[in-house]
């Protein structure tokens, strides 16, 4: 009997050690894996390092638009809305609905679409103010935004932790999730294909946003649901982001404990 108890205790210790040793690492300079259900962080690496975030900015852009504009509101494209980088290929004089522009923003990562959407919400200066206001309400304490499309700027930055908070908030917005989870769309006379490969390659992926600039490197925010549980992952400056996100989710869905919550008290929105 005593021998059986000793063996059982030894087995329990062995299992505990195995659980502690099993972990995951990623190529990203900064990363976070967060549970949407309780805000727990399941993995982090340089989570509070302020970094360029490229077009993952457009998650916040879309949320601000959805809170301030009607989906069928029409906007006229102006010459000043043309932008460098990824594009929806808008033409001056076109009239576009906010809904079509949101698909161009999230699937094509249109920098031009971002500028037109900012115009629809009262102009870029007001729009950037709304972006920073919403970021503060969500609890993104180490972030600042200066444009709606994510092009590099000295005062345009965030952290992996803050972007995970943003993703958790976004995951609860049905219209946003419908758009960012769309693989292909036909709208405004255009065929669009989502840049996010994880939608086609990763079980349970519900979308979010890719990003890239030369200075920022590859950035990626994603969201996956399996068996009623939803996690979000963020990697910043990661040349192996597709594989890293897959590895993070395999790790995260096999564990339940975390190290902190995403909710911050005060006048900030509860996640």
Identify the pLDDT of residue 255: 77
3-state SS record for the chain: CHHHHHHHHHHHHHHHHHHHHCCCCCCCCEEEEEECCCCCEEEEECCCCCECCHHHHHHHHHHHHHHHCCCCCEEECCHHHCCCCCCCCCCCCCEEEHHHHHHHHHCCCCHHHHHHHHHHCCCHHHHHHHHHHHHHHHCCCCCECCCCCCCCCCCCEECHHHHHHHHHHHHCCHHHHHHHCCCEEEECCEEEECCCCHHHHCCCEEEEEEEEECCCEEEEEEEEEECCEEEEEEEECCCCHHHHHHHHHHHHCCCCCCCCCCCCCCCCCCC
What spatial distance separates the first Cα and last Cα of the chain, rounded to whole Å? Answer: 50
Q: Which of 196, 219, 200, 216 is nearest to 208 (CA)?
A: 196
pLDDT reading at 93 higher than 70: yes
Q: What does residue 108 show for φ and ψ, rounded to 5 degrees? A: -90, -10
Identify the pLDDT of residue 269: 52
At 51-79, the pLDDT tens digits run 999 999 999 999 999 999 999 999 999 99
Active site residue 87: no
Identify the pLDDT of residue 225: 98
Identify the pLDDT of residue 60: 98
Whether 92 contacts 37, CB under 8 Å:
no
At 125-147, the pLDDT tens digits run 999 999 999 999 999 999 999 99
Identify the pLDDT of residue 31: 98
Identify the pLDDT of residue 262: 46
**Helix 58-68 × helix 111-120 angle, to 10°:** 30
Count of CB atoms within 10 A of residue 183's CB?
12
- Higher-scoring residue by pLDDT: 39, 6: 39
pLDDT reading at 18 higher than 90: no
pLDDT reading at 245 higher than 50: yes
Whether 222 contacts 232, CB under 8 Å:
yes
Identify the pLDDT of residue 189: 87
Q: Which of 227, 194, 235 is nearest to 105 (CA)?
A: 194
What domains sit in the chain, N to C, each tagged with a CATH number?
Answer: 27-252 (3.40.710.10)
Identify the pLDDT of residue 14: 45
Identify the pLDDT of residue 16: 42
Identify the pLDDT of residue 159: 98
Active site residue 191: no
Identify the pLDDT of residue 180: 98
Over range 103-132, report the average pLDDT.
Answer: 97
Identify the pLDDT of residue 257: 52
Identify the pLDDT of residue 2: 53
Identify the pLDDT of residue 5: 56
Active site residue 58: yes
The Cα–Cα gap between 232 and 237 comes to 17
In the block, tokens 């958790």 appear at 168
Identify the pLDDT of residue 264: 36
pLDDT reading at 188 higher than 70: yes
Residue of 55, 86, 171, 222 with catalytic role: 55
Q: Which of 133, 164, 134, 129 is nearest to 262 (CA)?
A: 164
Q: How confident is the model at residue 238 (pLDDT cuts 50, 70, 90)?
A: very high
Which has the minimum average pLDDT: 9-13, 19-23, 122-126, 260-264? 260-264
Residue of 45, 86, 100, 109 with catalytic role: 109
The pTM of this model reads 0.87
The Cα–Cα gap between 113 and 103 comes to 9
Residue of 58, 143, 158, 171 with catalytic role: 58
């Amino acid at each position: 009997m005593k021998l059986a108890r000793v063996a059982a205790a030894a087995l329990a210790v062995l299992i505990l050690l195995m659980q502690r040793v099993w972990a995951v690492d990623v190529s990203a300079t900064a990363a976070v894996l967060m549970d949407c259900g309780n805000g727990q962080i399941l993995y982090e690496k340089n989570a509070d390092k302020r970094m360029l975030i490229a077009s993952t900015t457009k998650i916040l852009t879309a949320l601000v638009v959805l809170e301030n504009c009607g989906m069928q509101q029409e906007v006229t494209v102006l010459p000043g809305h043309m932008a460098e980088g990824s594009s929806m290929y808008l033409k001056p004089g076109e009239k576009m609905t906010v809904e079509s522009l949101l698909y161009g923003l999230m699937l094509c990562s249109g920098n031009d679409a971002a500028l037109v959407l900012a115009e629809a919400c009262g102009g870029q200066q007001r729009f950037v103010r709304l972006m920073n206001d919403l970021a503060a309400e969500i609890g993104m304490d180490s972030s600042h935004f200066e444009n709606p499309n994510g092009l590099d700027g000295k005062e345009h930055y965030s952290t992996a932790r803050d972007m995970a908070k943003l993703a958790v908030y976004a995951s609860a917005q049905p219209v946003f999730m419908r758009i960012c989870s769309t693989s292909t769309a036909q709208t405004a006379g255009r065929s669009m294909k989502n840049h996010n490969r994880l939608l086609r390659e990763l079980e349970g992926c519900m979308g979010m946003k890719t990003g890239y600039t030369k200075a920022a490197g590859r950035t990626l925010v994603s969201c996956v649901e399996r068996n009623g549980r939803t996690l979000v992952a963020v990697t910043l400056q990661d040349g192996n982001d597709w594989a890293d996100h897959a590895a993070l989710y395999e790790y995260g869905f096999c564990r339940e404990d975390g190290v902190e919550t995403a909710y911050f008290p005060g006048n900030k929105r509860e996640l």
